[in-house]
Structure 1
Amino acid sequence: MLYLTDDLGLLPFFLPFGIIGFYRYLWYFIKVAAWLVYRPRLPKANPTYTGEKDVTIIVPTIDAGEEFKIAARSWLACKPKEIIIITETKMRGPLQDLANEVDPARIKVLTVPKANKRLQMVEGINACTTEIIVFSDDDAIWKPTMLDYILACFEDLKMGGVGTSQTVHAVDPKGRQTLWEILAGFRLTSRNIEIAASTHIDGGICCLSGRTAAYRTLILKDPAFQYCFTNDLWLGKYPLNSGDDKFLTRWMVSHGWNTYAQICKEAELYSTFKNNWRFIKQVLRWTRNTWRSDFRSLFMERYIWRRHPFVAFTMLDKIFNPLTLLAGPILVGVFASLQEKRAGPTNPPLPAWNIAISYIIWLLLTRFIKLIPHFLKRPQDIWVLPAWLVFNYYFAIMKIYALFTLHEVGWGTRAGVGTELAANIGKEVPEDHVKIEMTAVHSEREEEQRNENPFYSIADQQVSQMGVDGSFAPPTSHHHQQQQQPLL
């Protein structure tokens, strides 16, 4: 191709794009190499933390169904101390019935006045009495070893958040996956490789996925965190309800806490995805959240550049990815047109169909190589590869559309959810119902954890005493002084 291009005098035009292509594949092979040498952290024989004493699972939901019972039984198999379900008031009855069917002794149901995921999460946080919180989706099915591998990471006193490996659980009881679910599986394969690579290279993660992620309770009980979490606005005016996992991940980075992703079979969860066209709506919501969060990480907060430069460059690469991807077929079309015009007796033009088929085969081959880990597990999904190629280009266009619609903050798949600020809902009810304040969690280990964290200032002591209304309250005897850097 380069020979033909040079023959036609088009090399100066195409060479820059060849360099971009070389860079992108080099970047991908770096990620694959890091993924291959990555290793998860293994549980100790005598761990500092155990599920029975130190873990509360918090599950914000509004419409849990039969899949909840399957998921809840898998959580209980990991032996947590408690499971807290938080829903809106009108759904308390159905959720309590589900909880009673599974284990009424260890599953508690709490409510908030309106469906708002961040408010529900804060309600669960403030009801927690253990040192580790694990957030989970109501359909996330765990392996029995999940908690052991999550807790292994918290042996590091600077560890703030831990993520997990993910795969698709079919909605169909017979296990048959639709095209949409297989596409979701392809995305998860790419994600697992990416976060394993970034964890190995610089310890960073683009996002601790909310499907299942664990955090130290003391971080989340900090009033400064809860205030920012429930008063999160995009451009100062659009309330954010989704994107909670992105916020939590950025908070770990900006406040000096380490993160880790346990990418292994023992820490793998199974999650359902929309098995029809509504999957596209899910992807659109996730894409908007990614744009907002990446802009904040790269250009507003900027901690990511110093703490996790590989993750920062990965985010930057994704910004330009839609343009470079869409430029490919356009340039191939330009080449096909120009080479016909400049052809002569000594260099006859290639047929347009020849160029098009060669390009499509190349694209399919590169996509196949990137998905080899998936096909080793599920070779029957190979038939979806052409659809995956089409989806890649559709997704590139969607990313550009999402960039220009970041003001749309609704949930997308849930009508009326996600359009109101969490803190405003909290103010509509008595103070003792949803209280954004810090409660006592006394332990020598927590004091050690704070002392190990170098991100500390006198201002943090004041911010940690800030309530949801932004006012300052005098410290009480049970208010620990959090050693965290305020979020900019």
Structure 2
Amino acid sequence: MDFTTILATIMMCGMFTWNIFLIYDVRQRPDPPTLLSSLRLLAHSIPAMILLGTCIMAQNAQDSALVWFAALFAFRYWRILVNVFFWFRYNPALATGRETITSSDCTVIVPTVGPNGNSVFADMVAAILANGPGRLIFSTNTEDAAQQVRAILAKIVSDLKAGTSSYQQLWGVGAVDVTTDIQVTNAKVSNKRHQVVKAFEMAETKILVMVDDTAIWHPRFLLATLPAFANEKVGFVGTRKWVKRLSYVADPNVGYLTNLWMQYWSGFWNVMGGLYLARHNFEIRATNAADGGVFCVSGRSSLIRTSIVNNNEFKQGFLNEYVLRFGDRFPGWGPVTADDDNFITRHVINNGWDIKIQYSEEATMTTVLGKLPLKFPDQCLRWSRTTFRQNPIALFADRTIWWKWPLTVWTTYFPWMYNAALFWDGVAVLILTQTKAYAESRHRLAVLGSFIVFIWATKLIKTAAWFWEHPMDFVLYFLIPAYPAFAYYHSLLKIWTAFTFWDLAWSGRKLPKVE
């Protein structure tokens, strides 16, 4: 028995032991499943069993490299096939005309640092008011930001009533009779979690809608998302995310070639932001259709039952989250300021609620990413660190996802921690070149080239929605391999963040400290 087989055997025994613990754990929870249903958790040992089987086959095969190549190929692409299958099986919750929750039952909370420097603030506010929620609360970080918000609100409301706002002109929306109660409060701290909790105190409706101050809703956003709450088990609703296509304004002070390059450069980062969210859309739609799972309900725009979060238990945990805290001997890192949407997602499922993703054109919010001056790479660092902080908590501290979302565990939660394309694609190509089949082939260059093209083409699966809407971007950023290059660059970012996950900085958002 070689080293790999011994290691795989140890892993399988460890996984089987872990699954026995999970069965015991779920049996101790409130409203436990039957023992027979609990035994299904043993299926989580299948990946370790497959690994052991691969080691044994490779040990006895004439072309062991070919066995490993086939195993790596299956390991790399099986979840794409699964997600594509469930992507097509997805259905949003649709309005029936008998809904008991309407837009007037919603309080919208917008944590903000003020409209200054925010080019889409007016459109964000106009979109919310056009949807007609019962109350809109702005929670600012300073009194100056609060004054800025109050100053701009009068004009936004006036334009909406007259039907002259840029948002109404873009969407063809007529004059809006604004009936929403608008409030502005100052949390006196540059901390999104504290700003949100401050606004909770002013919420009296059944549903809370948390919105980033760069998120622009579809005119029928609330009508398209609220039907999900017809299912009384649903406590949290996520939505479809999209990125606003930005145009480059030429600088008359520089030459033609410089402007041409800057147009491509600014467009590149804008497209990378769009593709980033397009991939997320694909993941959450597929996993939610598969077993109700989701890696995270984005805080850019989400809806939640007020009773879930507007209570002391939630507020205490939300404002005092620490990473790797083990009593007084090891205090860990915290309080965590980022990862707010991940915390809420975990809290919801740990308390027995279901999550529904509303993926449709009307349930879409549009945001701004990849804008110059550039902060998108810093945002990628923050999002990647969130994965390494929050996924292990969900997997090994909370553990709810093992029995609630068993397929999502293996298609999302684990892969998002190890899925560095630069490494896996490189290893796959390397192993292919070590196989006897490749060495004995008369067309090695064609085989290698075909496999590289296949790897390249698979990167279209999750991003197809963006390229379908913006076909020229396919030419400029995919046929010219800018996006694949960014994917490999992002792999290096991911490796770096794996070793710096304790960095709690809100990368990409520089805020002044408030005393």
Give the alignment's TM-score, normalised by structure 1.
0.77
Q: 2:227 aligns with which of 147, 152, 155?
A: 152
Q: Aligned AA for 1:94?
A: Q
Supply the AA of the counterpart residue of 1:219.
Answer: I
CA distance in 1, matches of 2:123, 2:92: 26
Report how far residue 32 of structure 1 moved. 0.9
Q: Of residues 62, 65, 85 in structure 1, which corresponds to 2:138?
A: 85
- The code of the aligned residue for 1:191 comes to H
Do residues 282 (structure 1) and 379 (structure 2) align? yes
Secondary structure at 1:294's aligned position in 2?
helix
| 1:199-245 Cα deviation digits (max 9, x unpaired) | 11111211110010000111111100000000011123322111100
What is the rounded CA distance, in whole Å, between the counterparts of 1:333 and 1:37 in structure 2?
36
Corresponding residue for residue 344 of structure 2: 248
3-state SS of 1:110 partner: strand
Q: Is the 8 A contact 1:92 1:109 kept in 2?
A: yes
Matching residue of 1:263: 359
Say whether 1:219 aligns with 2:295. Answer: no
Aligned to 2:382, the other structure's residue is in SS state: helix
RMSD (Å) for aligned C-alpha atoms: 2.7
- Note if 1:99 corresponds to 2:182: no
Residue 103 of structure 2 contacts residue 131 of structure 2 at CA under 8 Å; is this kept in 1?
yes
Q: C-alpha separation between the residues in 1 aligned to 2:434 and 2:85?
A: 39
Q: 2:123: which partner in 1?
A: 70
Alpha-carbon separation, structure 1, partners of 2:425 and 2:248: 41
Q: Which residue of 2 aligns with 1:374?
A: 466
Residue 57 (structure 1) aligned with residue 111 (structure 2): no
In the alignment, the residues of structure 2 paired with residue 347 and residue 306 of structure 1 have an alpha-carbon distance, to the nearest angstrom, of: 46
Distance 1:170 1:125 in 2: 33
Q: 8 Å contact 2:193–2:340 — kept in the other structure?
A: yes
Query: Could you say if the C-alpha distance between residues 309 and 334 of structure 1 is closer, same or farther in structure 2, counting changes exceeding 3 Å?
Result: closer
C-alpha displacement at 1:401, in angstroms? Answer: 1.0
| 1:102-141 superposed matches below 5 A | 102-103=156-157, 106-141=181-216
Q: Counterpart in 2 of 1:238?
A: 333
Displacement of 1:78:
0.7
| Secondary structure at the counterpart of residue 241 of structure 1 | coil
Give the 5 Å matches for 1:347-362: 350=444, 357-362=449-454
Instruction: Tell me which residue corresponds to 2:240.
Output: 165
Tell me the residue number matched to 2:401: 304
- Tell me how far 1:50 sits from its aligned partner: 1.0
Q: Deviations over 1:418-474 (max 9, x none)?
A: xx9xxxx9xx9xxxxxxxxxxxxxxxxxxxxxxxxxxxxxxxxxxxxxxxxxxxxxx
Asked if 2 retains the 8 angstrom alpha-carbon contact of 1:153 and 1:159, the reply is yes
Percent identity over paired residues: 29
Q: Which amino acid aligns with 1:300?
A: A
Q: In the alignment, is the contact (CA less than 8 A) between 2:271 and 2:370 conserved in 1? A: no
Q: Give the aligned partner of residue 496 of structure 2.
A: 401
1:10 is displaced (CA, Å) by: 8.4
Inter-partner Cα distance in structure 2 for 1:66 and 1:392: 28
Report the secondary structure of 2:235's partner residue. strand
1:410 aligns with 2:494: no
Counterpart in 2 of 1:318?
A: 416
With over 3 angstroms needed to count, the CA separation of the structure-2 counterparts of 1:94 and 1:255, relative to structure 1, is same
Q: Which blocks of at least 5 consecutive residues in structure 2 are unaligned?
A: 1-57, 159-179, 250-262, 326-331
The 5-angstrom pairing of residues 192-231 of structure 1 reads 192-231=281-320
More deviation in 96-105 or 393-402? 96-105
- Residue 91 of structure 1, CA deviation: 1.6
Residues 171 and 273 in structure 1, CA contact (< 8 A), matched pair in contact too: no
2:32 is matched with none
Query: Which structure's residues are more often helix, by fraction?
Result: 2
Aligned equivalent of 2:274: 185
User: After the TM superposition, which residues 335-354 of structure 1 pair with which residues of structure 2 at under 5 Å, given as runs?
Assistant: 350=444
Residue type at the aligned position of 1:207: C
- Following superposition, the deviation at residue 301 of structure 1 comes to 0.8
1:40 CA drift (Å): 0.5
Q: Secondary structure in 2 aligned to 1:46?
A: coil
User: 2:72 is aligned with what amino acid?
Assistant: I
Return the TM-score normalized by structure 2: 0.73
- Structure 2 distance, partners of 1:358, 1:198, is 30
Structure 1 partner of 2:255 = none
Deviation at 1:122, TM superposition (A): 0.1
Question: Aligned partner of 1:316: which letter?
Answer: F
1:334 Cα deviation after fit: 6.6
Whichever residue aligns with residue 47 of structure 1, its letter is E
